[in-house]
Amino acid sequence: MINVKINGKAIQVPEDTTILAAAKMANVKIPSLCYNSDLPAWASCGICIVRQEGTTRMLRACCTKMAEGMSVITHDPEIIKARRTVLELILSNHPQECLTCTRNNSCELQALAAEFGLRQIRFEHFIINRPLDNSNGAIVFDRNKCINCGRCVEVCQEMQKVNAIEYQGRGGKTVIGPADLAALEDSPCVRCGQCAAHCPVGAIYEAHANRKVWDHLADSNFVTVAQIAPAVRVALGEEFGLEPGIISTKKIYAALRRIGFKYVFDTNFSADLTIMEEGTELIGRLLKGKGELPLFTSCCPAWIDYAEKNAQDLLPNLSTAKSPQQMMGSMIKTYWAQKAGIDPAKIYSVSVMPCTAKKYECKRNDDMKSSGFQDVDNVLTTRELARFIKQAGIDFNDLPEEEADNPLGPYTGAATIFGATGGVMEAALRTAYAVITGKELGDINFIPARGLKNVKEAKIDVAGTEVRIAVVHQLGNVEEVLKIVRDAKAAKKDPPYHFIEVMACRGGCISGGGQPYGANDAIRAKRAAGLYTDDERSTVRVSHKNEAVMAVYTEFLKEPNSEKAHHLLHTHYIKRDLYK
């Protein structure tokens, strides 16, 4: 610990504490804009300047570390004046379109402007008009609104190591985008949307689906059906003032019905189905030599996109199982449509996802039309659903709790943890163990797979067979695992792992690119805890005991990995170029 002073108040802070963090400890709020706790301080905005007492030089609070005996003044008229000028400069280069902006009321720049009480921009207002990039179907890049804070670049390069975007050009013409300002669609972008989740303003956001969905809801020719992903239920409440991690599954079902959806299903159902398909595939590869090892999970479309571009040598190692969203999509328009006697052509199927890449996944290739129609017609992010609820005049917290519709609603505890890193692994192990050994696990909680450690590894004894697993989340950590796999392959050694779960976003889907803004590790932990609570409270906690899923097999698919299952629930992968 070192002794420092913030505005004259003596406090002790750990070594290596930044001024910004130290001030927070002293209950002093230093305004900042470009800083985000997920990312190393990039120090681009100049808002968080403070003064070291006794000097005229100002320091950036976000990136300057406290030293023993240091005394910092965070606010005085001169500092405030400089900050206000900088803010006014930023606004002079930002469209004044708050009313129609996707970030109206959730914009960090807007909040700062309100705090500083800026009523007029005295400097020339200038924008270099650049066309909107909405090429990739998942993320929209509005460069006119970009304040060049660089968070997206850091996310893309440091956190995700996707390296799709970088600053381009110099001076006033500086702009962020893919190399040579290629369209996002033609770039290495994998649509994880972490850039959008970290953007402080309305420069990067999910491709909106509002209008189309509302139009279909209003059109009585369509039977509108919704599904919600695991991670949505522990985060949506934040948009209505609830703590992160509060489980609001049943209120969400109720809300969807009040918005106008005729049927409400749960992606958790198809997560159980995924376990049956992927688990069977794993057992086949593990015990019967059917396909390569290790097996990689395939639920995460950003990871799939990444693998198709960056791990083409390992495509045979990806599970062919579709993601739960797509399994649900094809079940709705085949199994359920038949059962309910509804013409699948009339079904408009919408999923609510914590994810931006899911918007792309539903149109990825022709496998996503296995029902003969586009299996999932449209995808809303958690944030978009929150806006739907508000638009529909619903008091979310006052909603009654309702159940999902049958037969695609019931789910087990194994399914709900899909939303957190390690969850798919844990769910798969619960079922694989039972299928291989014929016995249920004594303790089904698989703690080594849980938590925010970048790469988690474990060995499990399954009836005398050692099963080696790895769990990795946040794409920037993936290469480390891929290298281990490739090195072993090159050395013709046994695979270092048998089963690897990959989730593109930090913490898994709970902090996906479409989740409520402001995620940090504390919030991630709370959301994950919500899912584990949901699991614990479930009466059934293993996928193979989901009776509704079992019914699908007996009534429709026959057995996991059957020919029909392959047609409806599996897909294939192709090599894609980083740049088109």
Partner 1 sequence: MAYTHYILVCGGTGCESTDAKGIYNNLQMEAKAAGVSDKVQIVQTGCFGFCEKGPIVKVLPEDSFYVEVKPEDAKEIINEHIVKGREVTRLLYKKEKKNVESIDEIDFYQKQLRIVLRNCGVINPESMEEYIAREGYMALEKALFQMTPEDIINEIKAAGLRGRGGAGFPTAIKWEACYKAPGDIKYVVCNADEGDPGAYMNRSTIEGDPHALLEAMTICGKTIGSHQGFIYIRAEYPLAVDRLKIAMEQSREAGLLGKNILGSGFDFDIEIRLGAGAFVCGEETALMRSIEGKRGMPTPKPPFPAQSGLWGKPTIINNVETYVNVPIILNKGASWFSKIGTVDSKGTKVFALTGAITNSGLVEVPMGTTLREIIFEIGGGIKGGRKFKGVQTGGPSGGIIGEEGLDVPLDYGALTKMGSMMGSGGMIVMSEDDCVVDVSKFYMEFCVDESCGKCAPCRIGTRQIHALLEKITTGNGSMEDLDKIKEISFAMQKSSLCVLGQSAPNPTISTIKKFEAEYIAHIKDHKCPAGKCKDLVRFSINEKCIGCLACVRKCPASCITGEKKSRQVIDQSKCLKCGECFKTCKFGAVEKE
Spatial CB neighbours of 365, under 8 Å, sequence gap ≥ 6:
571, 572, 574
Compare residues 122 and 439 and give the one whose CB is closer to partner 1. 122
Q: Residue 80 CB, nearest distance to partner 1 (Å)? A: 11
43 binds partner 1 (CB under 8 A): yes
Q: Which of 327, 296, 287, 341 is nearest to 314 (CA)?
A: 296
- DSSP 3-state of 545: helix
Given the structure tokens 């110099």, which residue do they identify?
170
Q: Which of 37, 115, 167, 397 binds partner 1 (CB under 8 A)?
A: 167
Of the candidate residues 171, 289, 393, 438, the single one contacting partner 1 (CB under 8 A): 171
Q: Which of 14, 131, 169, 372 binds partner 1 (CB under 8 A)?
A: 169
| Pairing between β-strand 499-503 and β-strand 295-296 as defined by DSSP bridges | parallel
**Residues making up the chain, counted from first to last:** 580
Which residues make beta-bridge pairs with 502? 472
Nearest distance, CB of residue 179 and partner 1, angstroms: 11
The least distance separating partner 1 from the CB of residue 27, rounded to whole angstroms, comes to: 24
Q: What is the dihedral angle through the alpha carbons of 550, 555, 558, 562, rounded to the nearest 10 degrees? A: -100
Stretch that binds partner 1, among 84-92, 283-291, 316-324, 535-543 (CB under 8 A): 84-92
**Quick one: 60 or 430, whose CB is closer to partner 1?**
60
Q: Could you tell me which residues are beta bridge partners of residue 5?
A: 10, 71
CB 82 within 8 A of CB 52: no
Q: Are 164 and 184 in contact (CB under 8 A)?
A: yes
Name the segment binding partner 1 (CB under 8 A); options: 163-171, 233-241, 436-444, 534-542: 163-171
- Kindly state whether residue 148 participates in binding partner 1, applying the rule CB under 8 A: yes
Residue 303: both structure tokens together: 């990871």
CB of 166 vs partner 1, minimal distance in Å = 6
Q: How far apart are CA 220 and CA 284, in angstroms?
A: 46
Nearest CB to partner 1, comparing residues 59 and 183: 59
Please tell me whether residue 372 binds partner 1 under the rule CB under 8 A.
no
What 3-state DSSP class applies to 155?
Answer: helix
Smallest gap from Cβ 147 to partner 1, in A, equals 7
> By CB under 8 A, is residue 90 in contact with partner 1?
yes
Q: How far is the CA of 570 from the CAs of 23, 322, 547, 561, in angstroms?
A: 53, 5, 22, 9
Q: Is residue 96 close enough to count as binding partner 1 by CB under 8 A?
A: no
* Cβ-based burial of 63 (10 A; exposed 0-12, middle 13-18, buried ≥19): middle
Cβ proximity to partner 1, 93 vs 326, nearer residue: 93
Does residue 76 touch partner 1 according to CB under 8 A? no
Interface region with partner 1, contact rule CB under 8 A, candidates 60-68, 283-291, 378-386, 561-569: 60-68
32 binds partner 1 (CB under 8 A): no
Tell me the closest approach of the beta carbon of residue 305 to partner 1, in angstroms. 24
Chain position carrying tokens 């990959």: 502
Which token pair is 538?
């479930």
Q: Across-strand partners of 457?
A: 470
Taking CB under 8 A as the criterion, the residue among 16, 124, 180, 461 binding partner 1 is 124
| Choice between 69 and 241, CB closer to partner 1 | 69
Segment contacting partner 1 (CB under 8 A): 119-127, 130-138, 527-535, 554-562? 119-127
User: Quick one: which of 15, 166, 219, 559 contacts partner 1 (CB under 8 A)?
Assistant: 166
Q: Which is nearer to partner 1, 64 or 106 (CB)?
A: 64
- The reply to whether 560 sits near partner 1 by the rule CB under 8 A is no
User: Which residue in this structure is represented by tokens 């850091």?
Assistant: 154
* Minimum distance, C-beta of residue 145 to partner 1, in the bound complex (Å): 14
Q: Does 126 bind partner 1 (CB under 8 A)?
A: yes
Smallest gap from Cβ 123 to partner 1, in A, equals 5
Interface with partner 1 includes 89 (CB under 8 A)?
Answer: yes
Q: What is the CA radius of gyration of the chain?
A: 25
Interatomic CA distance for residues 227 and 528, integer angstroms: 20
Of the candidates 353, 347, 316, 19, the one whose C-alpha atom is nearest the C-alpha of residue 192 is 353
Calpha distance 154→409 (Å, rounded): 39
> Least Å distance between CB 125 and partner 1?
10
Q: Which residues would be at the binding site for partner 1 (CB under 8 A)?
A: 41-47, 49, 58, 60, 63-65, 78-79, 81-83, 85-86, 89-90, 92-93, 122-124, 126, 147-150, 166-167, 169-174
